[in-house]
Amino acid sequence: RAEVVINGSSSPAVVDRSNESIKHNIQPASSKWRHNQTLSLRIRKQILKFLDAEKDISVLKGTLKPGDIIHYIFDRDSTMNVSQNLYELLPRTSPLKNKHFGTCAIVGNSGVLLNSGCGQEIDAHSFVIRCNLAPVQEYARDVGLKTDLVTMNPSVIQRAFEDLVNATWREKLLQRLHSLNGSILWIPAFMARGGKERVEWVNELILKHHVNVRTAYPSLRLLHAVRGYWLTNKVHIKRPTTGLLMYTLATRFCKQIYLYGFWPFPLDQNQNPVKYHYYDSLKYGYTSQASPHTMPLEFKALKSLHEQGALKLTVGQCD
């Protein structure tokens, strides 16, 4: 039986990044791409040996109680207590229980989305996943509006909402949360100790203002399980990015997966500059040794899967 060749190489991260965008030209072009159902099913089965998105997408209420102590995944010596608020917001059943979708969009945050005109195409998918509470309203033409699941690393509260220093920022966050209107808000609360207070602030806001979102807090094993899957396939990632986590989870409940806004390079395929995020002025940080991510390496793996028809990457304009 043929193996899934994801990376095609067992060597760790590419080091020379000077003209990486040239090396990553996407083939086949959009119009020639064909979905490979057999391969997608094989990948789903392989991933299921490591994790089950239905279960690992969130810790459930029945498994924790207020006061329980949790060791942070990346700071094993630091602990947190399960607060009453966190307990109240834990779902009783998996938000993905028995869910199956024909096509899903995963929207990364690269500036490559700007002027893509992909909004309508993204919104036409049955299930749309977005990352880190990225704004949509002002960019709807390029990124769409539909949001079924959105992630929120605690660091977003600092980066995009000024750590809620005053009432204006609290109101801004509250409005953004209200705009989610019933979608799943996925908060990695148990990853690193730095997010402790920020997660609590958000939980408090949701409860106090009866915000209509379905909260989910990924399982303690998810990150290592995802990393394990990719390492087994010779993709030597340090810590999976949110985008890669979402793809790995989506294989469980999406028949076809379409990726937009995945482009961790400062130049596009035509050598024009690309912003790191479509919505802010954050600079490229992945080249730094300190960064926990290995985005270009992840991209190489995703590109290889695109070429084999297991997923579709869009890195330019939509038709």
Residues designated as active site: 293
155 near ligand CTP, rule: CB under 6 A? yes
- Interface residue with ligand CTP among 40, 242, 256, 294 (CB under 6 A) is 242
Residues forming a β-bridge with 300: none
- In three-state secondary structure terms, 207 is helix
Please state whether beta strands 214-216 and 101-107 pair in parallel, antiparallel, or not at all (unpaired).
unpaired
The whole-angstrom separation of Cα 293 and Cα 296 is: 9
Binding string, 285-304, against ligand CTP, x = CB under 6 A?
--------x-x---------
Q: Which residue's CB is nearer to ligand CTP, number 51 or number 274?
A: 274
- Interface residue with ligand CTP among 264, 301, 305, 306 (CB under 6 A) is 264
Question: Residue with structure tokens 């482009």?
Answer: 263
Stretch that binds ligand CTP, among 58-66, 85-93, 226-234, 257-265 (CB under 6 A): 257-265
- Shortest spacing between CB 240 and ligand CTP, in angstroms: 8
The whole-angstrom separation of Cα 245 and Cα 302 is: 12
206-to-82, 98, 175, 217 alpha-carbon distances in Å:
17, 26, 11, 14
Which of positions 127-146 make contact with ligand CTP (CB under 6 A)? 131-132
Stretch that binds ligand CTP, among 56-64, 106-114, 139-147, 182-190 (CB under 6 A): 106-114
H or E stretch at 149: strand 149-151
**Residue number with the smallest Cβ distance to ligand CTP:** 243
Stretch that binds ligand CTP, among 2-10, 89-97, 105-113, 177-185 (CB under 6 A): 105-113
H or E stretch at 107: strand 101-107
Contact criterion met (CB below 8 Å) for 260 and 125: no
Q: Which amino acid is at 48?
A: L
91 near ligand CTP, rule: CB under 6 A? no
Q: Which amino acid is at 38?
A: T
- Shortest spacing between CB 245 and ligand CTP, in angstroms: 8
Residues forming the site for ligand CTP (CB under 6 A): 108-110, 131-132, 153, 155, 241-244, 261-264, 276, 293, 295
